[in-house]
Amino acid sequence: MVTLIHLSKIYPRGDATVAALQDVSLDVQRGEFCAFIGPSGCGKSTLLNLIAGLDRPTSGDIVLAGRSTKEWSSVEWTAIRRETIGIVFQAFHLVHGLTAEENVALPLLLRGDDRRVIAARVEEVLEMVGMRGRRRHRPGELSGGEQQRVAIARALVHRPRVLLADEPTGNLDSHQGADIMALIRALAKAGDQTVLLVTHSAHAAGYADYTWRMQDGRLVARTERAAELVAS
């Protein structure tokens, strides 16, 4: 579902350069939940930004749902984000002037879906994340964990095949973080979504089917989900 082929990203830094990603190759299958863990600066966010089309690789290719993205314009990337990719961020990135349900409706409004279809789907997805009762609340009236639930609903409302999560528990306490990771895993498994998570947290990575440790822009070691957790 997500294939990375010799992917590299070099940034200029003054007169020198920094290799944020170095020759990363990887194949994440449909329905798999893959985590990337590593120290600050090892290239985790760069990796997700490239897969989301928010930044362009220096070399290599990203194949999404069987299509090479190498020659894609920003218009094609916008289209794939609207159809195929959902993104959850550390800082939630909800629109503060809008209610929970208005935030969740945004991706469907942007692609011009019928308003009655949107209303039904928004209600359904808010129910899935346990936020239907708070649908008229604005982000400022919700806890961090609740805001992240709304952000997850927004990321999944268009039924993307790929969910990208950039440190989704980074602004939450450990209890809220565990709730959010359990929710992401349960929803993704139920929806057969492919999840790519980047995190500093070994606890958060423990919800993935397997974890790649990153160092200096490279994938250095893969660890499988603990056997006793595989079925859950």
Footprint on this chain of ligand ATP (rule: CB under 6 A): 11, 13, 18, 20, 38, 40-46, 200
Nearer to ligand ATP, 46 or 148 (CB): 46
Nearer to ligand ATP, 42 or 188 (CB): 42
Please state whether beta strands 16-28 and 2-13 pair in parallel, antiparallel, or not at all (unpaired): antiparallel
Write down the least CB distance from residue 91 to ligand ATP, Å: 12
Write down the least CB distance from residue 42 to ligand ATP, Å: 4
Nearer to ligand ATP, 5 or 18 (CB): 18
Nearer to ligand ATP, 38 or 145 (CB): 38
Nearer to ligand ATP, 10 or 98 (CB): 10
Tell how far CA 203 is from the center of its chain.
17
The dihedral built from the CA positions of residue 94, 100, 103 and 108, taken in this order, carries a sign that is: positive
Write down the least CB distance from residue 10 to ligand ATP, Å: 9
Instruction: Please report, for residues 40, 105, 109, 119, 157, the alpha-carbon distance to residue 114 in angstroms, rounded to integers and kept in the order given.
Output: 43, 11, 8, 9, 14
Write down the least CB distance from residue 186 to ligand ATP, Å: 26
Q: Are 125 and 156 in contact (CB under 8 A)?
A: yes
- Rounded to a whole number of angstroms, the CA Rg of the chain reads 18
Pick the closest to residue 10 from 70, 61, 58 (CA basis): 58
Write down the least CB distance from residue 163 to ligand ATP, Å: 18
